[in-house]
Amino acid sequence: MNKLTRKQTGNEFLTTLFVIALPVVIQNIISIGLNMIDTVMVSGLGENAISAVGLANRLYFMFTTICFGIYSGASIFIAQYWGAQDKTSIKKVFGIDIVIGCSLSLLFSVAVFVFRRQIMGVFINDANVIELGSSYLKVVSFSYFLTAVSFAYSFNCRAIHMLKMPTAVNAAALCINTFLNWLLISGRMGFPALGVQGAAVATVIARFFEFSALLFLIYRNENHPLAANFSELLSWDLTLLKKVLETSFPVILSETAWSVGTSVYFIAYGFIGSSAIAVVQIAYNISDFFQALFFGIGNASAVMIGNEIGREDIEKAHDYSNRFLKITFALSITLAFLLYMSKGKIIGYFNLTEETSISLSKTLTVFSLYFTPKMFTYMFICGILRAGGDTRFCMIVDIVTIWVIGVPVAFISVLLLKLPIHLVIAMVFGEEIIKAVTVIRRFKSNKWLNRVIG
């Protein structure tokens, strides 16, 4: 590759990265900011309220993570079809997304609504926390269908480089949710003080707005690649379904195993007490905020590498993957340092006891130490290996590290070693090191580079 070509490729890379990553970063900051605002506002009701909403949202976390598995698995095809400019196939694959995602949402909604108390009881043995969490789940279960549909449209807009509109809608939904939280949690401007249930009502209304606005704006443009009618959404056949599922199912299973496994960690944390749950919930909210940049870069990586593989330009796909890894290393070191240095000021925004604040500070120190290996494994699995269709390998890595290493270590650390929450987290996060070494070796082998559409 001559110098001019290298310069052109570099400019093309940065331009495309910026176009795709920036809206996704904004979307994730909005989504994570929403969770953090919820937590800050709910913290005014006490640590039991934080624990209740945090545990209740583990169900939403599992649901959205499984949806992420469905949509990201199928988006491997959509990104490669977009690279090949096959819009008809894009609508067919998107239809598979919608059918599976909506079916899953209805299953979750019914299960959460009917068995909300039993589900809360799995995580913690505290009657007050269970009752608060159940009242939250009773309302928020109605948002799952809305989330499944809006997430499908928003997520797949990334694969076709059309992100401005869903980003604006997400921002508006955040503002609506925040304002309604302010009105309904503590009761302002004549509205009743509904506590944690008020946070749930605000979430449902904001999700309905997001759902309605996305559908209206996408279908207003008849040429939008995702503006498919019912016949187009259902035009796929069993051959295409089988082809998509062969690549997507390992991603779905991987994300399911990961989300359920990390939620099982919370069962272990629950044995320490509601204060430990509050600490972990807040720590994850804060850490996710710092990780938002990488969610954008990871999505850009999956799309850009998938596009190049779809065009059969394997050399450029490999070049792009190396560029993304260098960016990840530099940014992860920087943001890990910023997380550590700013943790004191951030903790001050939450209404916590002195003992819980000290525990949270130690836990955030652990998060900052593991920040770089966590971001590397995310980039490799979600951004690079899956873009090349290497989903089965990623599935095996996720399942083994979570269930064979992480889950047993969590319960041993809590029940046998009786460690405080920050040291339990440190023990559990050890699986990230093993995962990082494994995926680096896979990347170097080049076995992950596959063209799944041809």
Write the pLDDT tens digit of every residue in 185-211.
888 888 888 888 888 899 899 999 999
Average pLDDT, the chain: 83
- Alpha-carbon distance 437 to 418, whole Å? 29
Average pLDDT over residues 345-371: 88
Examine the pLDDT at 451 and tell me if it is beyond 70. no
Query: Rounded distance, CA 226 to CA 214, Å?
Result: 11
Residue 440, pLDDT above cutoff 50: yes
Comparing 167-176, 372-381, 419-428, the range with the smallest average pLDDT is 167-176
Average pLDDT, stretch 54-60?
81
What is the reported pLDDT for 10? 58
pLDDT of residue 39: 66
- Residues 291/376, Cβ–Cβ less than 8 Å: no
pLDDT band at 2 (very low <50, low <70, confident <90, very high): very low
Higher local confidence (pLDDT), 3 or 88:
88
Chain length of the chain: 454
Give the integer Cα–Cα distance in Å for 301 and 72. 12
**Among 342, 331, 348, CA closest to 365:** 342
Q: Model's pTM, two decimal places?
A: 0.72
**CB of 217 closer than 8 Å to CB of 224:** no
**Which of the listed ranges 288-292, 330-334, 346-350 does the model predict with the highest average pLDDT?**
330-334
Q: Looking at residue 354, what is its pLDDT?
A: 86
Domain boundaries, the chain: 3-445
pLDDT band at 79 (very low <50, low <70, confident <90, very high): confident
